[in-house]
């Protein structure tokens, strides 16, 4: 058993986040599948905030973000929510792409990597 790896929110299939060597990898977060993309983005980011807080850090420690959209036409709506959420002066490296998500009703998924204290 490896003791220098810390897992958060561990379930039978995956953990919400895994920490190792000062880095926290957060699993992809999604929102309520029936909501529009802006609301789903808010929900994703609220989950990221919750997971980071559980590890004792906040969004200013995010190093990188990957955002997957089911439809790139939703890019402006997602960005409006992201821009209001991300701390200016602490914006991470980011990539956004289009992909089929776990269900057709998911419109956005957010994955982040952060530095621990």
Residues 6+ positions from 109 with CB-CB distance below 8 Å: 28, 29, 30, 44, 67, 68, 101, 102
Rounded-to-integer distance, Cα 11 and Cα 59, Å: 24
What's the pTM value of the predicted model, to 2 decimals?
A: 0.95
Please give the domain boundaries of the chain with CATH numbers for all domains.
Answer: 5-115 (3.30.1330.40)
Which pLDDT tens digits describe the chain residue by residue (117 residues)?
557 999 999 999 999 999 999 999 999 999 999 999 999 999 999 999 999 999 999 999 999 999 999 999 999 999 999 999 999 999 999 999 999 999 999 999 999 999 999
Q: Strands, DSSP E only, in 55-92? A: 62-69
């Amino acid at each position: 058993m490896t003791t220098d790896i810390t897992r958060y929110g561990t379930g039978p299939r995956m953990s919400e986040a895994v920490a190792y060597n000062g880095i926290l990898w957060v699993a992809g977060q999604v929102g309520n599948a029936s909501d529009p993309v802006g609301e789903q983005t808010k929900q994703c980011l609220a989950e990221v905030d919750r997971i980071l807080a559980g590890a004792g850090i906040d969004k200013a420690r995010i190093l990188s973000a990957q955002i997957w959209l089911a439809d790139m036409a939703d890019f402006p709506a997602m960005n409006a929510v992201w821009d209001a959420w991300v701390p200016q002066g602490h914006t991470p490296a980011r990539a956004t792409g289009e992909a089929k998500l776990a269900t057709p009703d998911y419109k956005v998924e957010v994955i982040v990597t952060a530095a621990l204290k």
